[in-house]
Amino acid sequence: MTTTQQTPRPASAGVSAQPADGSAAGADRHAVEFRDVQIAYGKFVAVRDFSLSIAKGSFVTLLGPSGCGKTTILRSIAGLVDITSGQISIGGRRVDDVPIYKRNIGLVFQSYALFPHKTVFDNVAFGLKYRNVPRAEIARKVGQALEMVRLPGAEKKLPSQLSGGQQQRIALARAIVFEPEVLLLDEPLSALDANMREEMRVEIKKIQKATGITAIFVTHDQEEALSMSDRIVVMNAGSMEQIGTPQEVYDTPATAFVADFLGKANMLAGTVSAVDGAKATVALAAGQSVSVVSPRPLAQGAAVTVVVRPQKLSVAPGSGENRLSGRVVSTSYLGGSAIYEIDLGGKTIVRANNAITGRLAREGETVEVGFDPAGCVLLDDKGLRIA
């Protein structure tokens, strides 16, 4: 597991929806709460100082690279991982020492984890039988769950007779059939092909909204996180880097890590060469200058990084107040859009993702790329957003 040097987080990066007084009213609003949770294995700390409140009925995604602690956090909610310190509550009830079968949670794994020699009915009914639900009620609930995942009539089939997507639907039905307080999804779409992943994203979100269940989803796939979530928790090396809506974490990344991990932003290093109120001129390492708008006054000579998303960088003459000249290194045609890699000089290569309105720029061609001052985010010399 790779460790990353930690930098102080800006206030916005550590946002937590916890009630200030830990009141019962707060517990009524929140399905899951973490308070100063740490999880360590010997000297290795997998999760550190993690505090987070998840509102009832919301869809929250833990997003980050392999080894960042997101799955460890998910498994700690389930009771599959013991925490070293802090506390975890579900529905206002502390569950640190509560066994998994008493936590009333639904689990969907990456591997589906279906019983291969049991029928679909018996797989879905497993949790209900364990809870001694009457037979007639089991039959009714299993039927409802299979209707919800769009597999009615599959009760007598074995998992081996189903496609990967259908098996994932059965795993989902089994997790929701007993109406758990919280649904935990551990990278459930990673084993599916691209088309099936997209279809299942829509299905999972529909089911979550229809049932009103609180869902916590783990993934390293940025597109999944952006398309499915009410809120995204971006993780790095065991700590929370930022929490916010998909638009917040994408448009206003709190740290250099978030900017780079979520969407591969263009990171233009430079120095403030002139200041005029809220506006400043930044001399880039590439030998060109851009104008930026800062939320707070910048000092002349300060080192900053200008963060520009590929969609905000336009390959068109006269586009945007800031115009930079560069040479096209590569062009990737994607149907309705194209991705360009452009060399601005000084070993600075930027990426632009533009809708196609005319001809494609050719490799080796000199082009002008532009963006507006309001279309970028500024980071300080520690990699933290200037706010």
Q: Indicate if 35 and 136 belong to the same structural domain.
A: yes
Alpha-carbon Rg for the chain, nearest whole angstrom, is: 24
Last residue of a domain, one of 260, 286, 305: 260
Q: Indicate if 253 and 375 belong to the same structural domain.
A: no
The answer to whether position 4 is within a domain reads no
CB distance 107 to 184 below 8 Å: yes
Domains: count for the chain? 2
The answer to whether position 3 is within a domain reads no
pLDDT tens per residue, the chain (387 residues)? 333 334 444 433 333 434 433 444 445 679 999 999 999 999 999 999 999 999 999 999 999 999 999 999 999 999 999 999 999 999 999 998 899 888 999 999 888 889 999 999 999 999 999 888 999 999 999 999 999 999 999 999 999 999 988 999 999 999 999 999 999 999 998 878 888 888 899 999 999 999 999 999 999 999 999 999 999 999 999 999 999 999 999 999 999 999 999 988 999 999 999 999 889 999 998 889 999 999 998 999 999 999 999 999 999 877 788 999 999 999 999 888 999 999 999 889 999 998 887 788 899 999 999 999 988 999 999 999 998
Last residue of a domain, one of 245, 260, 275: 260
Q: Indicate if 282 and 197 belong to the same structural domain.
A: no
Q: Could you tell me the CATH number of the domain that includes residue 371? A: 2.40.50.140
Q: Indicate if 88 and 19 belong to the same structural domain.
A: yes
Q: Indicate if 255 and 290 belong to the same structural domain.
A: no
Structural domain of residue 348, as residue ranges?
A: 264-379
H-helix or E-strand spanning residue 9: none
Strands 337-345 and 322-333 come out as: antiparallel
Q: How far is CA 334 from CA 337, 349, 353, 369, in A?
A: 5, 20, 10, 19
The answer to whether position 201 is within a domain reads yes
Q: Indicate if 196 and 331 belong to the same structural domain.
A: no
Last residue of a domain, one of 260, 276, 311: 260
Backbone phi, psi, residue 78, to 5°: -75, -20
The answer to whether position 229 is within a domain reads yes
DSSP code of 205?
A: H
The answer to whether position 6 is within a domain reads no
CB distance 384 to 255 below 8 Å: yes
